[in-house]
Amino acid sequence: NTGTRNRVPPLEGLNSVDWLDNASVMELGDVPEHLVIMGGGFIGVEFGQLFRRLGARVTIVEGGEKILGREDADVIEGVHQVLTEDGIDVRTGAFAKRVAPDAKGVCLTVELQGTDGQTAEIRGSHLMVAIGRRPNSDDLGLEAAGIGTDDHGFIRVDDELRTNVEGVWGLGDVNGGPPFTHVAYDDFRIVRNNILGAGGASRAGRPAPYTLFTDPQLGRIGMTESQAREAGHEIRVAKLPMGRVARAIEMDETRGFMKAVVDADTDQILGAAVLGVEGGEVASVIQVAMMGKLPWTALRDGVFSHPTLSESLNNLFMTLD
């Protein structure tokens, strides 16, 4: 596991300004007056809300049509609403073209999508680049060892995390899997069992949970609604606003909603998104049910302590009745 480093964009003038990535931004001694963030993915959104809560003015600039582009439209809309309510300026469809020093810091020029090349200038005190990561594999001498990589520099591995060279394994961020600590830790489990244990450990069929650590959180497990439809499943969708969750009302944080996607033929839960207070913890309860192959009715009829967030799973799945 060699880790990753920031992906540097081919942005005109980038070398003329001092810019930050998600590591260097944590070393700041002062809160930026106006932090401009390139990238509306997990890193950009989390750091954007963090620095807004610390008192900075924050603008998130995303070249695509939406932030968090892999999520369902209603989830994206919910997160977008949270950010704007917190006072964050979110600019989508704004593709960064060049950056230059400015009297107050930096000036980012963006091309507005769908406007025949029209541009706009966004000025701030600091620029953070959060457009993704790339693996630290370019200085390992992989070619000399004959280890294969893909077009992005990630080491190719099979589901048991073997490379194409006997006795060499690839785990963590360097193998191109989901870039999360918990996934890298599970990669270790697989390699440990395959080298020191009985063997046969594989990442095939492994659930891919993740949590967007905004406030409130977005907890995700399994397929999105869009992915389930694209995969050909006949689905039913359960949805419950956090305003109907007793614990959320008690905690005075009712923004967001819970959403679960189930297979209409098998009653198996295919995935869930929980945008709400402690959304990652609630999504983990649904994940355990998925791992145990419980039907959605088991959570509808389960007995959970009151008042906990998990008891709202009764009401979430009751929406399918």
Residues belonging to the chain: 321
* Residue 274, SS3 per DSSP: strand
Using an 8 Å Cβ cutoff, are 56 and 33 in contact? yes
Q: Encode burial over 103-133: b for 16+ CB neighbours within 10 A, e otherwise.
A: eebbbbbbbeeeeeeeeeebebbbbbbbbeb
The residues carrying an active-site annotation are: 306
* Residue 47, SS3 per DSSP: helix
Distance separating alpha carbons of residues 42 and 170, to the nearest angstrom: 24
Please calculate the CA angle 287-305-303 and round it to the nearest 5 degrees. 70
Distance separating alpha carbons of residues 68 and 45, to the nearest angstrom: 8
Distance separating alpha carbons of residues 3 and 175, to the nearest angstrom: 10
Distance separating alpha carbons of residues 148 and 165, to the nearest angstrom: 8
318 DSSP assignment = H
Widest Cα–Cα separation across the chain: 63
